[in-house]
Amino acid sequence: MTKTGAQILWECLERQGVKHVFGYPGGAILPAYDALKHSTIHHVLVRHEQGATHMADGYARASGRVGVAIATSGPGATNMVTGIATAMLDSSPIVCITGQVGSKLIGSDAFQETDITGITLPITKHNYLVTHAQELARTLREAFYVACSGRPGPVLVDITKDAQQSSCDFDWEAAKPQLPGYRPDLSPAAKEYAQALELIHNSKRPLILAGHGVLLSGAMREIRDLAERAGIPVALTLLGLGAFPATHPLNLGMMGMHGEAWVNHAIQEADLLLALGMRFDDRVTGHLKSYAPNAKKIHVDIDPTEINKNVKVDVALIGDLCEVLHELLPRIAMIDRSEWLDSIDRLKGDSAVRDIQNLPDSGHLYAAHVINDLWRETRGGDTVVVTDVGQHQMWEAQYYKHEAPRSLITSGGLGTMGFALPAAIGAKVARPEAEVWVVVGDGGFQMTMAELATVVQEELKLHIAVINNGYLGMVRQWQEFFYERNYQATPLLNPDFARLAEAYGIRATVVTQRSQVVPAVQSAREHSGPVLIDFKVEQEDSVYPMVAAGASLDEMIRRPNPLEETAEDE
């Protein structure tokens, strides 16, 4: 059947199962928008193309399906760059579609021409420039396949205006992906499994390091079986939170720069690390030379380029984690490791007395209290928390106990401020039945708060908790610790966030005391529409523990003046 490129675009998206796209129109993509009226796909009009990419990303992380963003050429396309890089660093499957000037104009500095495939080459898993309608169907099928197979990632498809306008025969079946050089389906050899099993069975102090790959592979059940069967405790990366239930007795919590002190000590004392779907980021390892000096290392990862990249390992199992664990699990022997577990428990004792959560109400509102109360109120439900980047992000990771997979969405690798609000919009569109909370700093919120209009236009019941400390808090913390409190460019003069939300038609409240947190959260949950809560928290609090950049994992900066233990931690 003959169709225009624009019609083929929407039909291919529909056949890929796409229900929503996030976008912003402009001249070079107008033929595609013109053909949208015949499509069943719902288009979410964003307020900035960066927002569209984060929405597609949040959609993908919340649902496991590919998220789609669409923009025009030139400034539309370049506005997507931050969102594409964010998705790339965190292995999130999105497809970005951009309009391009007519094929005959390419290279002439035409109006709104920019070489977006060149610009995004290092931050996409793959990208395409399509100059003929005939290439469109195959390219789009490949784009979706590449985005979600193997290690997921962003793919960009740049389509010239004439390719959208011209017509050709459309044959979906004939347009099957043809990627002979692409091998996303590797699996380990028998010898490697045997070596891994030997290390596991010989270890006395093993530790599972579970990462984002557990969620991407859907290996939550398998990780749990492995931990329980072999009696191995589990530490999680920031992006792995939710991959193993927070309240499971074998869950130790987060590792790394702002991880739990006992986790980092346990890593340094372990005799075996089982790194499962994690990539030994520098926020995780600290100083590499002194990282886990006593441990043998087994690395399971789908991407061969991650093996021995940061940390040299003894055994590598390259393949999909779920498949690898299916192979390993029946051969895992039960081993009593209670001595090792008891020694980690002893490490925990010291941390409890330093925990700000156990401080009596001193009239100050600490972000940790806000997050912990938010967790208590929403626990047990189908809740997704989407955070921005900074101190509040780390407090969320420490004080919100994630039980379920895909219940935390956060920008880890790129650490993109401005991520939270648009990513939460994407998450809510993907999972309308879920309760979605945005936990965002006063700095990052101001980077993408224009998307409040999108929340209202799409009638999304989002809950927005602004953790308002009047500072670019995480940078202020670094200035406090490492730059003699020289607070250059970190104090913020903020707008009145509550009145700002109200200007968009969003209900808003301000919370300044600990006793107001729970009522504000409850009232937000009961309200039928979106709500913003401006939590005015302690301005100069810091995130502890902290491993200074480049320091050894066990050289942690701890909260000064240990606090008196006053309450049982839940």
Ligand X SMILES: Cc1ncc(C[n+]2csc(CCOP(=O)(O)OP(=O)(O)O)c2C)c(N)n1
Q: What one-character DSSP code corresponds to residue 463?
A: E
Any catalytic annotation for residue 204?
Answer: no
Q: At what angle do helices 367-378 and 517-526 cross, to 10 degrees?
A: 40
Q: How far is the CB of 479 from ligand X (least distance, A)?
A: 11
55, 417, 474, 556: which is the annotated catalytic residue?
A: 474
Residues engaged in binding ligand X (CB under 6 A): 388-392, 415-418, 441-444, 467, 469, 471-475
Any catalytic annotation for residue 37?
Answer: no
Helix, coil or strand: residue 202: helix
* Nearer Cβ to ligand FAD (321/420): 321
Quickly count: other Cβ atoms within 10 Å of residue 111's Cβ.
11
Could you give the string, one character per residue 195-234, with x where binding to ligand FAD holds by CB under 6 A and - elsewhere? ----------------xxx--xx-----------------
Q: How far is the CB of 36 from ligand FAD (least distance, A)?
A: 33
* Nearer Cβ to Mg ion (151/476): 476
Given ligand X, Mg ion, ligand FAD, none, residue 388, with its beta carbon under 5 to 8 Å by kind, binds ligand X
Helix, coil or strand: residue 262: helix
3, 16, 22, 49: which is the annotated catalytic residue?
A: 49
In sequence order, what are the beta bridge partners of 127? 156
Could you give the string, one character per residue 280-319, with x where binding to ligand FAD holds by CB under 6 A and - elsewhere? -x-xx---------------xxxx--x-------------
Q: How far is the CB of 391 from Mg ion (least distance, A)?
A: 7
Given ligand FAD, ligand X, Mg ion, none, residue 416, with its beta carbon under 5 to 8 Å by kind, binds ligand X
In sequence order, what are the beta bridge partners of 535? 467, 511
| Site of tokens 């099993």 | 197
Q: Which of residues 319-348 bind ligand FAD (CB under 6 A)?
A: 320-321
Given ligand X, Mg ion, ligand FAD, none, residue 99, with its beta carbon under 5 to 8 Å by kind, binds none
| Site of tokens 């979106």 | 530
For the chain, the helix, strand and coil percentages under 3-state DSSP, each to the nearest 5: 45, 20, 40
β-strands 462-468, 507-511 pairing: unpaired
Residue type, 136: L
Residue type, 23: G
Q: How far is the CB of 369 from Mg ion (least distance, A)?
A: 16
Nearest to 443 by CA among 419, 408, 413, 460: 419
Q: Which two tokens stand for residue 144?
A: 């979706």
Total residues at interface with Mg ion (CB under 5 A): 6
3, 161, 401, 428: which is the annotated catalytic residue?
A: 161
Q: Which two tokens stand for residue 126?
A: 């793959």
Any catalytic annotation for residue 280?
Answer: no
In sequence order, what are the beta bridge partners of 493? none
Backbone φ, ψ for residue 155 (5° rounding) = -125, 135
In sequence order, what are the beta bridge partners of 71? 98
Active site residues: 49, 111-112, 161, 474
Interface with Mg ion (CB under 5 A) = 441-443, 469, 471, 473
Interface with ligand FAD (CB under 6 A) = 90-91, 151, 211-213, 216-217, 237-240, 254-259, 277-279, 281, 283-284, 300-303, 306, 320-321, 389, 393-394, 412-413, 415, 474
